[in-house]
Chains A and B, each alone.
Chain A
Amino acid sequence: MMLRFASLLFTGLIAAQTATADGELNAKLIADFRSYPNSNAGTIVSGQSLELNIDAYQDFGAARGVLELVARIDDQDSGRRILEARQAYISTEIGGFEVYLGNRQEFWGKAESTNIVDVVNQQDAAADQGGAGKLGAPSVSIERYADYGDLQFWYMPNFRELTFNDADAHPSGELPVKAARYQRSEGRNADDFAFRFSTVVDDWDLAGSLFYGTARTPILSVVDMGTALEPYYAEQRSIGLEAQYTGDATLLKWESLHGKQDGKDFFAAVAGLENTLHGVLDQVWDLGLIAEAQYDGRPQAAAERFYVAGLRLTLNDAKDTSLLLLTSQDEAKDQSLISFDASRRLNSWSSINFGAKFFDAKTTTSVFGFLDDDDTISVKLNMFF
């Protein structure tokens, strides 16, 4: 693995230096140092990983090839080790339609704290990279951009499973994860379909989507007399709605998803407000105030209702320094999460991130109760080639 990674790294860095007129190749190397200050006995107290991202595109006449490769090694956690084509597709325009074939990454949604309508990709949850940590969706997708709005159609013939950290790594339920069970008999080979229409009407960005396929987030159960976790992927049929109102300094956001999962009706929604104050403390700083309310009636949710409050400070300096503080609390005031992220450019080829996450729960058998020992402090050094 190490040798393969090193040779990949070398090839990537050499190739990154060459760029042609109708193509480009860039690389990024991320060194990630993590510490788990609250870890239970028998679990790891720290970890380090090295991740190489290769990002390339090449135009061939009317077609374009795009490749985004992620290779990650980790000294402790096999769940974080991955060689993944986050994107590897060919695209071309046929009769006013953009057609894509291969692994693709796509984002749907409007909210900040969670994106329940973002159904195309599976999460690389073990990577703990938030929305950036996705697995490529093997797919055929077609898009059309028209005056009245934009249409997307997705066919996804291969399901990607959520990634899990090792039982002794973080975050984890400290139990080994068994092979997944599927509601649909074709399992991983069942076909998934998604469709979305999005449009802009003055200050409103609106979208509606349909999904039929396998739910991305599994329902986890403790099995084998409490010695293992078993993921169960249910069938999902759903309608997603998105809206964002963009005012002068205020954004109003809405995402909702309703339909059937595992044969049962469900509803989930996020409503949010974001207001930005400019020039705070007589500096050129921007302070964003974020408030979101989440409702999720699915069994995967840690609690039905969560309330999120956050602050985003952007210094608007030459180093692009920014800080984000988010707090999340369930309605019963049982489970809570505080997360902090700060980033700053070091020079033209590197930047640094500092992150911290603290889980808290009164009920030890709740989801956050399981995550109580998964508090994380991380420092990431990003290098660009």
Chain B
Amino acid sequence: MRLLIATSIAVLSSFILNSTHALADKGLEIAMEVIERDQGWGDSSSKMTMVLKDKYGQSTQRSLRNSSLEGSSQGDKSLVIFDTPGDVRGTAFLSHTKKTGSDDQWLYLPALKRVKRIASSNKAGPFMGSEFSFEDIASQEIEKYTYKYLREEKYNGVDCFVVQYDPVDRKSGYSVQETWVDKSKYIVLKTEYYDRKKSLLKTLTFDGYKKYKGKFWRADTFIMINHQTGKETELQYENWVFGTGLSEKDFNKNMLKRVK
């Protein structure tokens, strides 16, 4: 009898373990497929308008330019240049994403002509006072999360996989993220972010996806709603251009002082 119980526990626990593995594997597969289908974009640039809304509906705007370089062995590199408001005009933010460990980040302060390496521990902190944190705008590398497949669900009439992304880095501001992935296109339509206390913190939705170069889907509107503060940030992208001939050199920290 004792043997039977022991055996059943063993069978049961291996079944639970296997199914946990299966869910993890399926989650990872979906996340990898999302990244796989977007490979080969090379480099891109776009213009972005950031609209910050407080809980009273008052809004402020900032405009910036964005360029990125796809990484192979390392993560992607990206450069953000601010055009408005006036007091941050010419400020530039350079990020070299790492697949594991902390990203390298530099800030260019035009009044001082100073390129400053900054600590990247602020990943949970807000990017330019918006509802997007540094980790939300960083490039999504597969190694930065562990995954779990949750369920299938329709979102806005589109069949989706719902996958849980669990950040590896303990300095992440999130306990988990739940991501709705379009089953046919393998593009992310919605992400829900849960804070460290496991309460729903923010929801990010993507809208206006367009296909570029016959392969790469880019949304033109990102809306991040913070449920705990009632604030909202909308990113409106335009002028997506791919293959503009950018190279590693354009993402060197010394180029920051030459950006205009």
Least Cβ–Cβ distance between B58 and chain A, in angstroms: 9
Of the residues A145, A150, A246, A347, contact of B119 by C-beta under 8 Å? A246
Assess whether B86 is in contact with A24, with CB atoms less than 8 Å apart: no
Asked if B260 contacts A24 (CB within 8 A), the reply is: yes
Q: Of B86, B126, B128, B255, which is within 8 A of A384 by CB?
A: B86
Interchain CA distance A80-B249 in the complex, whole Å: 40
Query: What residues of chain B lie closer than 8 Å to A248, measured between beta carbons?
Result: 102, 119-121, 171
B152 at the interface (CB under 8 A from A): no
Return B73 CB to nearest CB of chain A, in Å: 14
Q: Which of B86, B112, B122, B128 contacts A350 (CB 8 A)?
A: B86
In the complex, are the beta carbons of A351 and B117 less than 8 A apart?
A: no
Asked whether A249 lies within 8 Å of B119 as measured between CB atoms, the reply is: yes
| Contacting pair B260 A57 (CB below 8 A) | yes
In the complex the two chains form, what is the Cα distance from A255 to B258 in whole Å? 25
Contacts of B90 in A (CB 8 A): 55
Give the B-binding residues of A (Cβ under 8 A): 24, 26, 28, 55, 57, 66, 98, 105-107, 131-132, 143, 145, 150, 200, 205, 244, 246-251, 276, 278-279, 284, 286, 316-320, 345, 347-351, 382-385
User: Which of B54, B85, B112 contacts A349, CB < 8 Å?
Assistant: B85
Name the prevailing secondary structure of the B interface residues: mixed
Q: Is the CB of B87 within 8 A of A320?
A: yes
Are the C-beta atoms of B121 and A276 separated by less than 8 Å? yes
Task: Please tell me the number of chain B residues within 8 Å of chain A, measured between CB atoms.
Answer: 38
Q: Which of B70-84 contact A (CB under 8 A)?
A: 84
- CB-CB under 8 A from A384, the residues of chain B are 85-87, 89
A-facing mask of B116-131, CB < 8 A → 1, else 0? Answer: 0111111011101110
The answer to the question of B150 belonging to the interface, with a C-beta cut-off of 8 Å to chain A, is: no
Contact of A200 with B119 at beta-carbon distance under 8 Å, contacts A132-B112, A316-B126, A349-B85 already known: no
Does B117 lie within 8 Å of A345, measured CB to CB?
A: no
Q: Which residues of A contact B61 (CB under 8 A)?
A: 348
- Contact between B122 and A278, CB atoms less than 8 A apart: yes
What would 25 A/B residue contacts be, using CB atoms closer than 8 Å? A24-B260, A26-B89, A28-B86, A66-B260, A246-B117, A246-B118, A248-B171, A251-B117, A276-B121, A278-B124, A279-B125, A284-B126, A286-B122, A316-B126, A316-B129, A317-B129, A345-B85, A345-B87, A347-B60, A348-B60, A349-B85, A383-B86, A384-B85, A384-B89, A385-B86
Q: Cβ of B254 and Cβ of A143 under 8 Å apart?
A: yes
Q: Besides the contacts A316-B126, A384-B86, what 12 more A-B pairs have beta carbons closer than 8 Å?
A: A55-B90, A132-B111, A143-B254, A145-B249, A150-B252, A150-B254, A205-B117, A279-B124, A347-B60, A348-B60, A384-B89, A385-B86
Residue of B nearest to A53 (CB): B111
Which 10 pairs show the lowest CB-CB distances between chains A and B? Answer: A384-B86, A248-B121, A351-B87, A249-B121, A132-B111, A348-B85, A107-B114, A316-B126, A318-B129, A107-B113
A145 partner residues in chain B, CB cutoff 8 A: 249, 252, 254-255
Q: Is the CB of B119 within 8 A of A349?
A: no
**Distance in angstroms between the alpha carbons of A82 and B166 in the assembled complex:** 57
